[in-house]
Amino acid sequence: MAGAARVVLLGPPGAGKGTQAKLLQDEFGAAQISTGDILRKAVAEQTPLGKQASGFISSGALVPDSLIVNLVAERLKEKDCAKGFLFDGFPRTIPQAESLDGILKKAGLDLNCVLSVQVPQNIIVERLAGRRTCRKCGAMFHVAFNAPKLDGVCDSCGGELYQRDDDKEQTIAHRLQVYDTQTAPLVNYYRARGLLREIDGVGEIDQIRARVIEALGDLVR
C-alpha cells in the first residue's frame, strides 16, 4: 500500500470484512489482522488461549477484552505489519478501541481510517447461515452466492470447508445482538475522531471491493 494503511474494518458479522481484508492484503500487502481467525487457530491447536476462548466463541459471546488486547499487541510486533495493517473483527468494544489507541501511541503510530461496512440484518442472516469456511486457510465461501468449484473443498488451498458453530442459526441472532450492544457504539467513537468512512456492503464481492478501494482513496494508491 502507498504509505502504510492502518485501517479498521468495522461492521456486523457477515458484512464482508474478512473477504475484503483478504483481497486488500493480496493486492496491497497490508497485513490482515483477524482476531477471529487467530482465536479459531488457537482453539484448533488447543493452546491456553484457545482453551480460554472456546466457550465464548461457540456461544457467540465476546472473548474478554484482556485476552484480545494482548493478542493484538503481540500480533502488531510481527514484521508483516510494517507495511500497514487491516483490522478485521477488532476492536469490538469501546475498551478495546481505547487499548488500541494506547498500543499504537506507544509505537508512535495512529489509525488513518475506520471503514464502516453497512449491510441490513436480513442479508447478514442469509450470508452467515450459508457461509462455509476453510479449516486450513480461513478462506470463505457461500453455498449459493460464492460456491466453491468443488463441493466442500477450498478453491485456494484444497482444505476442508465447514460450517462454523457460531454460523448456525441459533447463534447468529445472539451474535447480532452482541454487535448492536457492544460493537455498534464504535461507529460514533470513530466518527467523533474524524476517522469514519462508510460504504454500502450489499452487492457482488467485486463491486464492494471497488467501493472499499474508492473509500480508502490515497491510502491504497
User: Which residues are at the interface with ligand AMP (CB under 6 A)?
Assistant: 13, 35-36, 39, 56-57, 60-63, 68, 89-90, 92, 96, 166, 175
Minimum distance from residue 98 beta carbon to ligand AMP (Å): 13
* Cβ neighbours around 54 below 10 Å, total: 18
CB 34 within 8 A of CB 88: yes
CB 76 within 8 A of CB 85: yes
Q: Which is nearer to ligand AMP, 83 or 164 (by Cβ)?
A: 164
DSSP assigned state of 168: S
Q: Is there a catalytic annotation at residue 92?
A: yes
The one catalytic residue in 22, 40, 92, 211 is 92
The one catalytic residue in 41, 83, 136, 164 is 164
**What CA dihedral angle connects 177, 180, 181 and 184, to 10 degrees?**
150
Query: Which residue number places its CB atom closest to ligand AMP?
Result: 36
Distance, in Å, from the CA atom of 144 to the CA atom of 148, rounded to the nearest integer, reads 9
Q: Is there a catalytic annotation at residue 17?
A: yes
Distance, in Å, from the CA atom of 75 to the CA atom of 213, rounded to the nearest integer, reads 25
Q: Is there a catalytic annotation at residue 106?
A: no
The one catalytic residue in 22, 75, 127, 131 is 131
Q: Which is nearer to ligand AMP, 180 or 214 (by Cβ)?
A: 180
Report, as residue numbers or ranges, the catalytic residues: 17, 92, 131, 164, 175
